[in-house]
Structure 1
Amino acid sequence: MDAAEYKHVVLGLLFLKYVSDKFEARHTRLGELVKDEGSDYYMPTHEARQAVLGDRDEYTAEGVFWVPEGYRWADLRKAAKQTDIGQRIDAAMEAIERENPSLKGVLPKNYARRELTPATLGGLIDTFSRDDLAAAEHEGVDVLGRVYEYFLAQFASNEGKNGGEFYTPRSVVSLLVEMLRPYNGRVFDPCCGSGGMFVQAEHFVESHGGSRNDISVFGQERNPTTWRLAKMNLAIRGIEANLGAEWGDSFHNDLHPDLRADFIMANPPFNISDWGGEHLADDPRWRFGTPPPGNANYAWLQHMLHHLSPTGTMGVVLANGALTAKDCGQEAIRRNLIENDMVECIVSLPSKLFYSKALPVSLWFLTKDKSGRGRVPHRDRRGQILFVDATALGRLESRTHRVLSDDDLSAVSTTFNSWRGLAGQGSYRDVPGFCISVPTESVAAAEYNLTPIRHIRVAPERDGYDPHGALNGSLGHAIDHLERAASAYVSLSEKLQALTIDSGEDLNSFRLSEVATMIRRGITPRYCEPEDPEASRVINQKCVRDGRVSLAPSRWTQPPKRGLEERALQRFDILVNSTGVGTLGRTAQWRGRDTVAPITCDSHVSIVRPDSRMVDPTYLAIAVRLAEQEIEDMAAGSTGQTELSPSALGSLELRLPSLVTQQRIGALFAELLDQGDAAIDFGALTQELCLAYVRLVDSGQVQG
């Protein structure tokens, strides 16, 4: 079962554990109160005490869900080893929904399916029943909430592109919250995913001495599965939110038509072309211009502005293409936003912050009133736009993911709020290479280009450039990489030495088509420039070499009229060159995953999608590569024009061990390949380190 399905199994059980724990804690407390003669709850008889303990209102008044007897976590724990545990969990979910109308249609109820064995479910129940989890929760530590967020992040990482539909990384959300500072008022997210913006907003309020009741939460989400995730995520934190009676498309079924929010925070899907804009040409929300049907970026901005209060502020994550887009009326909309003084600040973010977005992204902050007359005093910022270049911030947590530190968050948020003139944030000043406040006339003179580096002065290398700091930074990255690599190499060495192969195991013969869910040629590309807001990478046969996929020779294409979604690369797809002198038959496995625009292949490359129910994808990729010569020999055609059809490729005969053996060996292969990729990254890091040394010598600041 892949992460997209498994997350609902885990998160649903975690939610069930949470509501049961809260119910039992309230039940225990009431049991103490009804026996305490000094308490307003004191009851002299057993019958009266039982009546209080069974009074649903005593629980719901404290924000505790009612969990009927027989369906509580303790009941499931007792039955964890029973063969019908799946049916019992489904029954518990149905009972909790039935007793709590706000949860109707929210909880997963498919635990009785065949692929979820009693051993698997029982193991999860035992794991979530650990005493330390319950003890910490009773002490007021938000352990289950943290575990829920941890799983959301891990599942988002594993799902790659699809993960971005329900989870925005915590450091990005924290930056938005720290910059907007939603102390009190109405908070809105029209594409709320799993509700992470609301969770961080509530944390911000409480960490600054406020109460969660100081903010009112409104949201909308069009994906029904993600909407349910948000309902559970907020319920597990005790956050009351109006996410609508059901899921709905913000553009075509606005569930909060009369809402005017004080704060809007959102990470909408980038560059979507199928948002139905052609049906909304005369919509009153398009005050600054009608957004193009082929790209919803400026539709999102105007939809949010429509819902913003007269003195409210909004922060939105968008792909960098929106900063300069000129086609289909987008430049005119941006010009109108700037000339009407709606744009307050633009922040360029570093790469690799998102699990699902490889495109460079920026934060947009818009407001309807820069005069400073809002509920929180600000200085008059009319006619000014703040630009911040934060692309140098953050640290790599892994090869594919970067996080922003608390210092990074403070550097950007303090810059923004000191520029706005908030009390206690210090005085603002331009910092070469990092931030600048620019008159809107200057932005107009720059053809309404909102790219921060277009306006920020570069810091001179001999005036403000710290060669020692640059060297120490590069050296620190190199040492950190070597330490992590050394630990990984020791672990891999031990695993390799312990690896045993049963020479007596029977091998089974399969055709490639029997162990793959798809074997298709790539698309016919329509090449374009990478700056095109709809551009997607397209891999050609030059990219497939030595078992690896290199993006260096790849090009960019506009989406084809059909077929892109099916042929968008998924992690562990196997690529096979189907044509080309000297390249025919080469194979490689696609191991990337952090992209927002789909990556696909051109028609000279075939995509083989392994069926993980039949074969380990990593093992299969190595087995297919071992057959490269045989694959080349299967091609048909005249000299120089030979090509390999998908049907011929599907007939490739492979001899494979059992799935268990494949998975055991494949897991080790995957670790080895990941270390190989890390070594390639280290090569680039060493070049950076050498350059830093030479710059230090050239600066004349060498210290002995």
Structure 2
Amino acid sequence: MDRDVQVTAADNGEPVDKDVRATATDTEDQVDRDVQVTAADIARLGDVGRAAVSNWRRRHDDFPQPVGGTATSPAFSLGEIKEWLLGHSEGRALPAREWLWQDLRAGVPEEDLADLIADLGAFLVYLDREGDDWAALSAADDAAVAAVLPERVLAACAAPMRNPPPPKCLIRGRLPLLRRVAALAAEDGAGKTFGFLRERYFELHTKRMYATPEPVARLMAELCGPSPELVLDPACGSGTLLKAVRDRTDGGVRLLLGQDADEATARLTAAHLALHAATVRVSSGDSLRQDAFSGTLVDAVVCNPPFNDRAWGYEELTADPRWEYGLPPRMEPELAWVQHALSHLRPGGTAVMLMPPAVANRRSGRRVRAQLIRRGALRAVITLPLGSIPNTAVALTLWMLRRPADSGTPGHVLMVDTSDRQEGFARVAADAWERFEAGADVDEPGVSRAVPTIDVLDDDIDLTPARYLAPPPADLSPERVTGQRDRVADLLRLVAELAPTVESSRGPKDLPMVPLAELLRRGMLTIHHQSPVRPGEPSEVPDGLTVLTAEDVVDGTSPTATTPGTAVQHEIIVRPGDVLLPNVARRPVAWVAGEGGPVLGLRLSLLRPDPALLDPHFVAGFLSGSVNLRNYTTVGSRAQVDIRRAELPLLPIEEQRLYGEAFRRLAEFQASLRRAAALGEDLIQLISDGLTHGAVRPSPEKRTKEES
């Protein structure tokens, strides 16, 4: 057997060929339609990496041809791929749960897949709670099991899921499928098995699910307090926030209530939460228009509401009694969600809402914001770090709300800004809230402050935390100013010595230029490019590695990114002596790696010259020179590099090294100038702050005799 098509052990460590092959012969679990799968799906089915799939396509004439997709992202017939994998596995174990997932996709129409996954979730709740009953029942034939199983599943789900809907797709000739699901649950556990199916479904339907990142979800759960018994999320999505509250209280929550506009998401979330030892009731529907829990009061509300939804129901909800603090403006749906949350709180209850920063200062919402402050409903605003919520271009905020237990106006509102703390922001925010709740004086410059209510109730009612925080203290001592000035002076003297010396070339010299494509053909160098990870595709790169980005090369800085936040496909490690060029830049840039280790990022070309034939600094110097501008394509104010068309002079290696040393000194000269400029900017600000804060004063300038 070819080494490339051998597959590793299945997820549970046992051969599963019998289960995998059963799908071709079980009449009750027959594949109804032939769905299309991507290369990433094939890699999962074969338990190999994406590179192996590419090798199969190149090296095996009998590998199935694409039936759809694009040239760069082809799609294949699932039936053909399964047959090919089974024919080339030679009895080796294949990952049972990946084959099960694809059989689920093929077994029902696309529009019924969510119902099937939700029904399997209910079945897994039954297995989790009534495992002994299933062990006895499963020994009977399929007809006997089918006759009683739906009622037993409903009975098992009644307590944890509070009146769950009856299964839509559970039986109907799927007993062999259920037995496969039960076998996986016996190995991995019911919760993990359903988590896998749910994750695969949401990968296929990304628009149906948005999960609040775990660090933010944990912070919101902590801010709810230690012991809420009834908790509501009126836009629960995948249930991340409700599960975080349940985990935070270690099961102390008596009931989790959730609502989501998407029915499929609501059903999947109900099963997910029920499988994590929570009593839940999750309904579908638009919470603002069709509140499933109208009149229900809870201890805590957590919510990441939809932002910028202009069709939230302004016209039909104008006279709604929930608008106790004022009619939400048509263009501010977030203030409708805030008041919806407050309407469900018992007196003294807490709501934690994730909000866009613009809600804090839009003029249209200032009347509602003023009422929230005057009546003691808004207790704190916390700015999160930019990037803590993926795919947002601004730093979002948390609003801490409380249903007032009396009619008084609180004396202070807590403002917290963690925008510059990528690490530990949750602890900073939680500690500030805890001190504020305890009545302590909170005033940490640049971080947190208990702001007098009267200071907030001005004409703008601006609730942006940074507006109310004192700047962090700075060391403005004369010793620091003098020390910084001396460092700049020393660096400038050093910079002056770094510029390389040159001599006349005795007239113009035509250097013999050769395209990089020709040098590549001769084997004098290799060229490497990175590929992005598309949604649903696995990456070959381990988590936590540093990534060199195009911005790092342009700025001449160390690697600034890491995986998996920067999703790159291949583990191309940068080595010392590699030459790196951004594919798009404002001016030609080429940079020689002095140290190895980072992974090559996107939008970069990596040239790896043979050091016996090409000097790296010589290559980088000519590629960044204006002689190669004719090989760049202008895109707006930037230049796009066609690296294979770039040209180098073909010189003897010793002469290359002479040029290379000059280019190396130029690069060091440039880097030192940048450092001097940055230090100079810091020195300017430091002296300016010292003078304006009174920490230092001007000294009389010493004048020479000539000046006198």
The alignment's TM-score, normalised by the length of structure 2, stands at: 0.48
Return the index of the structure with the highest Cα Rg: 2
Taking CA–CA contacts closer than 8 Å with sequence separation of 6 or more, which of the two structures ends up with the larger relative contact order? 1
